[in-house]
């Protein structure tokens, strides 16, 4: 495996991660603006709870897609089973990294890169969830006159 092939795989994975994440976050923002945020000032607490749960579930699914994409690469390049590839990808993306499954030496860079991307993409996702909750709290405080 040449250095060029390793760099090409890394660049491709980063670009695909950014595409999936940005498209997913953009779709969530569009949904929140058009469906959920129209009457947010009048949103009952039960509906606000459902909104936060739906947003969180969408974020979990989005992160799962990215993990699955990385797992596909690991399955193709490094591991003989999907179970091992998905396990490694999930533990690496979440930065848990148990160390019980490791990449072949020539692909170690991908593990570190996936961890870095996981931190960044989870940060973007959490900031979206934070914005939704902040909007709900601000609206609640404004409605009560605080």
pLDDT in tens, 43-58: 788 888 999 999 999 9
pLDDT at 141: 54
Residue 20: is its pLDDT beyond 90? yes
Structure pTM? 0.87
Per the rule left: phi > 0, alpha: psi between -120 and 50, beta: everything else, 9 is alpha
Residue 145: is its pLDDT beyond 80? no
Which residues make Cβ contacts (< 8 Å) with residue 79, sequence separation at least 6? 85, 88, 101
- The topology under which CATH files domain 3-16+46-138 is Helix Hairpins (1.10.287)
Which residues make Cβ contacts (< 8 Å) with residue 92, sequence separation at least 6? 70, 111, 114, 115, 118
d(CA 19, CA 128): 17
Residue 140: is its pLDDT beyond 70? no
Contact 97, 17 (CB under 8 A): no
User: pLDDT class for 122, splitting at 50, 70, 90?
Assistant: very high
Residue 91: is its pLDDT beyond 70? yes
**Of 47 and 143, the one with more pLDDT:** 47
């Amino acid at each position: 495996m040449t250095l060029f092939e390793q760099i090409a795989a890394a660049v491709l994975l980063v670009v695909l991660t950014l595409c999936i994440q940005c498209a997913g976050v953009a779709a969530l923002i569009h949904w929140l603006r058009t469906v959920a945020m129209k009457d947010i000032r009048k949103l009952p607490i039960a509906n606000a709870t459902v909104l936060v749960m739906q947003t969180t579930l969408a974020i979990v699914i989005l992160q799962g897609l990215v993990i699955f994409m990385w797992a596909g690469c690991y399955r193709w390049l490094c591991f003989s089973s999907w179970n091992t590839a998905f396990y490694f990808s999930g533990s690496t993306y979440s930065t848990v990294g148990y160390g019980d499954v490791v990449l072949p030496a020539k692909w170690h860079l991908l593990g570190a890169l996936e961890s870095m991307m996981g931190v960044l993409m989870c940060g973007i996702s959490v900031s979206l969830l934070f914005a939704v909750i902040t909007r709900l709290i601000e609206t609640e405080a404004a409605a009560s006159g605080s």
